[in-house]
Chain A
Amino acid sequence: MQMHSLAFDISHTLAGGLVLISFMMLYQDRLTSLLNVFALHALVLALSVAWQAYIQDAPHLYVTAVIALVFKALVIPVGLHRIVKRLGIHRDIESAVGIGPTMLAGMGLVALSMVLMLRVTADADPLAREDLAFALSVVLLGLLVMVTRRNAVSQVVGFMSLENGLVLAATGAKGMPLVVEISVAFSILIAFIVIGIFLFRIRERFDSVDVSALDDFRGERR
């Protein structure tokens, strides 16, 4: 295949790297290390997007790359580190679901997305289709991080890694319009969440497994 050029290999490596880093997120049980892994995730995304901008000759994608680098790899992790310290939860260890089952579920999700995307995109060009398969893996792993965590900060990290997968998919779809606008919109969204956490000090989604607490929250205790 002539597509197995250097350009293909590099973008493949970067996208695959994102999936691997998503896996690394799954087994981080400390918030600070989770934030560091996320910063790495965003850094690799920035590289991947910049590489796509270069090989597709699409200069506007550099904007997205810069947003990923500055905003997601620097500003947000630094800000979240501070919030975590301020809330005093930086030493917390959380394990809502065990690491083993989570990793297995993660592998299952990646396998699923590979099978699904490679099958349905048989006619698309190989670069785009593998990119899409990786992107879906990152999205699903991000969802997995969100459902296995109970802490608001780590849920947000899960959401941001999910969103990184979407940016990967959008930049891989050659010539897609509005990519920059969408990445800006997402950045605003994330900024909102982070500000929200900070202002409202949401620590946990549900502090207790006591169902009566839930009933109370719903205003439905008899």
Chain B
Amino acid sequence: MNLASFDPVTAVLLIPIGAAALLAALPGYRLTARLNVIASLATFLAALSLFAIDRPPPGPYVLVDDLNIVFILLNTFIGFTTSIFSASYIAHELETGRLTPVYLRFYHAMYQTMMFGMNLAFVSNNIGLMWVAVEIATLSTVLMVGIYRTHAALEAAWKYFILGSVGIALALFGTILVYMAARPVVGEGQDGMVWTILIEHAALFDPALLNVAFVFLFLGYGTKVGLAPLHAWLPDAHAEGPTPISAVLSGLLLNVALYALLRFKILLAANPAAIAPGPLMVTLGLVSVVFAAFMLYRRRDIKRLFAYSSIEHMGIIVFAFGMGGPLANFAGLLHMVMHSLTKSAIFFAVGHIAQIKGTQRINRIRGLTVTHPALGWGLVVGVAAIAGLPPLGIFMSEFLVVTSTFARQPLLAMVLVLGILLAFGALLLRLTSVAFGRPRGSTASAEASYVPMFAHLALVLGAGIYLPAPLVVWFQNVARLLG
């Protein structure tokens, strides 16, 4: 294939869906796990080439701009590292008999289908197509959450499914309303759903209709982001599914919904008469942060603990984007990237820990740094990062969010800081008991894959110490785009 005819967008979509079909057909664990890794790597490389090759002009279905390149790259990178982690995790699950080969085949196929859905959501320029893509991604994760078929796993999948379905139903109603608002201006048919055309004409749309549409979209996609009153599915789905899925749920799927929300936020901001979406996002963001921070204290299950931490961080991110302005948007974007990397690294560690100990109960896991130094210290660094300790990346992004808010809305900043500090306390409390002290539970040696976890942590540490200038310029660009 010569370089001129190589289309990275097509590759990013075709590789996962092709791999999904192949993985559904092929037997054997070794082969399929490797194939899964290779397909994810190929997708990641294709996404990387988006930087090198001229972008295609926005078509009726596909759009590549500064904003979604960040998301696609992050998505495919974590998809790749998680596939490595998944290979060693799943090997253990097969040994213990929690998964049968048939289910494994299904699992790998669904993994790639989910990657396809998420990539499609990111590159789509059509709000209808984006909605369909988010639905694909959600459905495939629902199936993976329930894959163990235990009572708890099925309950979690069912809850996720029903709440997720209501969420996407509301989002679809919002999408229809956006089309209704666009129709008098843009005209009937295809154009009324193409995002780049919508944004050009957004100033002329009926503001009242647009407002109602945004409320539906916000509630709909907000359910998937895991914002506080609508979060009920999130902890269960994280706790009961296979851990690689918890990692991609927290690291990636929440971002997909967030991305959809941001697209519509930009659309609304282009219409001067419409409501400002900021206050809505700020409110729900803050509620999520504070609520999740309190909930962290009562967790007894280690995966649930970090699921609530994800709610907290999504709250911070939505809050930052809701505040808007170049600095807060920059901080929100950085925080999103750092959170995805850190949280998936934590889940990589937690996955192996739970396998070794045979439990997810926090009080049965003790003294990890003594018995399993690599996993234990990896977890310590990860939790230190997620709690916002310097010099790790999340400290910097949280610092930026808080300072930019203090300059504009000191009261809101106080609430935010309260939430962050509460969460900090809860996480350190749990960390000390899990990582230090006299070891408890199985001390069997781990056949873990450390590379993905430490690669993520190294990136987070690196970003905390030094952000390369081109990256800063890029993020500033995107922050301007977000308004």
Contact = CB atoms under 8 A, between A and B. Distances in A.
Contact of B190 (A136, A163, A177, A220): A177
B447 interface: no
A200 B189 CA distance: 41
19 contacts: A122-B208, A123-B206, A146-B162, A146-B166, A159-B165, A163-B169, A176-B179, A177-B193, A178-B128, A181-B128, A182-B128, A193-B165, A196-B157, A200-B149, A200-B158, A205-B155, A217-B151, A218-B236, A218-B239
B32 interface: no
B132 interface: yes
Given A176-B179, A189-B139, A200-B146, A136 B173 contact: yes
Contacts of A116: 212
B172 interface: yes
A200 B159 CA distance: 14
Contact of A192 (B139, B149, B169): B139
A174 interface: yes
B82 interface: no
B301 interface: yes
A169 B149 contact: no
A100 to B, nearest CB: 25
Interface in B103-138: 126, 128-129, 131-132, 135
Interface string A113-146: 0001101111110001000100110010001001
Interface string A178-222: 100110010001001100100010100100000000000111111
Contact of A175 (B146, B149, B189): B189
Interface size class of A (residues with CB under 8 A): 35 or more
A182 B131 contact: yes
A162 interface: yes
Contact of A220 (B155, B157, B193, B301): B301
Interface residues of B, number: 50
Given A166-B172, A219-B360, A174 B166 contact: no
Given A173-B179, A185-B135, A202 B154 contact: yes
A52 interface: no
B300 A222 contact: yes
Interface string B408-431: 000000000000000000000000
A19 interface: no
Contacts of B184: 123-124
